[in-house]
Amino acid sequence: MTVTGVIQAGGRSTRMGGRPKALLEVGGRRIVERVVDVLEPLVDDLLVVTNTPDLYGFLGLPMVVDLFPDAGSLGGLCTGLAAADGDVAFTVACDMPFIHREVVRLVLERAGRADVVIPRVGAQLETMHAAYGKACLPHMQSRIRAGRLKIVGFFEDVRVLEIPETEVARHGDPAVVFMNVNTPDELEHARRLAVAGG
């Protein structure tokens, strides 16, 4: 089984005043570079889903334009999975500065056992840190056509394997591992964590 890492970089960054979150620095590296550093050794290949490919040329990775720009995160997810050469797309957001190699491995080790392999933290399924098999594509596409854009909406149509929070917590604080940088305050918090050894 082959795995394509898919980095979602299609968001509009409205809470950051339009600055691309992926390009903000945390711990001396752009957030997207931190994501690539973790994923590259763990997957067979990598691609970036983005509507602004000119911003990410420095990564030297294939880029795919979001086929469903008005369909939110589900559109980017579907675009990445359709473009993936691998049997499975491990999908991660571009604004997660503290993704953890061992937590990614938790997901990848189970990839193929279900159509979606996804960590759960409390009531939250980490849809942007999960593995999606090609069998998900028709279900994603039908939801997009119907305008039903909640990612977890199609889960009732596929096999889902959840990874419990306790397993994630063995490797790191889930609140840090799955942290997104959406606001200036969160960026400052992430920078403090990085200085403290994050």
Tell me the pLDDT band of 196, cut-offs 50, 70 and 90: confident
- Is pLDDT of 29 > 60? yes
Per-residue pLDDT averaged across 100-123, rounded?
97
What are the pLDDT digits (tens) for 32-72? 999 999 999 999 999 999 999 999 999 999 999 999 988 99
Average pLDDT over all residues of the chain: 94
Q: What is the DSSP string of the chain?
A: --EEEEEE-----GGGTT--GGGSEETTEEHHHHHHHHHTTTSSEEEEE-S-GGGSGGG---EE--S-TTSHHHHHHHHHHHH-SSSEEEEEETT-TT--HHHHHHHHHHTTSSSEEEEEETTEE-TTEEEEEGGGHHHHHHHHHHT---GGGGGGGS-EEEEPHHHHHTTS-HHHHT----SHHHHHHHHHHHHTT-
- Is pLDDT of 14 > 70? no
Given a contact cutoff of 8 angstroms between Cβ atoms, the answer to whether 176 and 198 are in contact is yes
Domains, the chain, ranges and CATH? 3-195 (3.90.550.10)
Per-residue pLDDT averaged across 140-162, rounded?
97
What are the pLDDT digits (tens) for 113-135? 999 999 999 999 999 999 999 99
pLDDT on residue 19? 76
Whether this model's pTM surpasses 0.85: yes
Neighbouring residues of 173: CB distance < 8 A, sequence distance ≥ 6: none
Q: What are phi and psi of 165, to 5 degrees?
A: -55, -35
Per-residue pLDDT averaged across 180-187, rounded?
92
pLDDT on residue 197? 74
Given a contact cutoff of 8 angstroms between Cβ atoms, the answer to whether 27 and 179 are in contact is no
